[in-house]
Amino acid sequence: MQYQQKHPETCLAKCLMILIEKLKNKKIEDKYELDLLIFSLKYERENIARGHLEKVVKDFRVKIDWIADSKIFYDFVKKMQIPKEINLINEKINLLLIDKLLKNPLIIYTDRFHLWKKGDDLYYKYHYPHFIIITQKKGEDYEIIDPDDGRIKIIDAKSLGNAVNSLRNYLWISPQIIQVKN
């Protein structure tokens, strides 16, 4: 499978496609990536993730656990009518929670700045919200799929924790975890 997103701003769409393809053992057409983003633009700009999740639960008959770190964001989403297949949870997102949930891969919203490593393109060397997939923990490190460049990478626990904390405390955006289930 090709892990690289084809369009700017489609990191969540690509992450969802990757996990659903693995879960359903079914190829999803590349055009779905952009279709998902366009569909999602119908929703509040503060919550484009909602449209992504609503479309995939309908199109692929999956269930989703959607964890929102911020109580304000959780309350904002809770007021909306979301499908019953989406289980919205308010819980502080940190490495302990990530470790607990990693029986299955998860999508997490981070600040891309902390994913940058020497040798990577300078494109990463700025603060910007970005969805990635964490596939597993390897010792004290985490294996991720970064849809921006399509590579499987290893990220240390400190960098991952910093990426989550920076999204919350520097960019003032609620970290989120999304898990797709049958």
Residue 8: predicted pLDDT: 82
Residue 115 is predicted with a pLDDT of: 87
Instruction: Single out the residue of 32, 78, 34, 89 nearest to residue 59, CA to CA.
Output: 32
Q: Where are the alpha helices (DSSP H) in 61-174?
A: 71-78, 95-101, 157-169
pLDDT of residue 2: 80
Instruction: Please give the angle made by the CA atoms of 166, 78 and 163, to the nearest 5 degrees.
Output: 10
Which is it for the CA torsion 7, 95, 135, 138, positive or negative? Answer: positive
Catalogue the E-assigned strands of 45-150: 63-68, 86-90, 106-111, 129-138, 141-146
Instruction: Answer yes or no: pTM beyond 0.75.
Output: yes
Per residue of the chain (182 residues), what is the pLDDT tens digit? 688 999 888 999 999 999 999 999 999 999 999 999 999 987 666 688 999 999 999 999 999 999 999 999 999 999 988 999 999 999 999 999 999 999 999 999 999 999 877 666 656 678 999 999 999 999 999 999 999 889 999 999 999 999 999 999 999 999 999 999 99
pLDDT of residue 24: 96
Quote the pLDDT of residue 121: 65
Element at 51 (helix H, strand E):
helix 48-60
CA atoms within 13 A on the CB side of 169: 8
Domain definitions of the chain by residue range: 11-181
CB 21 within 8 A of CB 147: no
Q: Tally the C-alpha atoms within 13 A of residue 81's C-alpha that lie toward its C-beta.
A: 0
pLDDT digits (tens, 9 = 90+) for 155-178: 999 999 999 999 999 999 999 999
pLDDT at residue 125, as a whole number: 73
Predicted confidence at residue 1, as pLDDT, reads 66
Distance, in Å, from the CA atom of 141 to the CA atom of 138, rounded to the nearest integer, reads 5
For domain 11-181, give the CATH number: 3.90.70.10
